Amino acid sequence: MATVRIVITLKPGVLDAQGQAVHQGLRALGYETVSGVRVGKCIEITVPDQTARDDIDAMCERFLANPLIEEWRIERDQDRDGTGRSRVPVLPRSQGS
Listed by start position, the domains of the chain span 2-79
Q: How many CA atoms lie within 13 A of 71 on its CB side?
A: 6
- The one-digit pLDDT tens for each residue of the chain (97 residues) are 899 999 999 999 999 999 999 999 999 999 999 999 999 999 999 999 899 999 999 999 999 999 999 999 999 876 555 555 655 554 555 555 4
Mean pLDDT computed over every residue of the chain: 87
Fold type of domain 2-79: Mth169; Chain: A , (3.30.1280)
Strands in 40-47's sheet, in edge-to-edge order, are 40-47, 2-10, 70-76
Is residue 81 within 8 Å of residue 13, measured between CB atoms? no
Q: What is the pLDDT of residue 77?
A: 74
User: pLDDT value at position 68?
Assistant: 97
Nearest 5°: the CA angle 50, 51, 56 is 160
3-state helix, strand and coil shares in percent for the chain, rounded to the nearest 5: 30, 25, 45
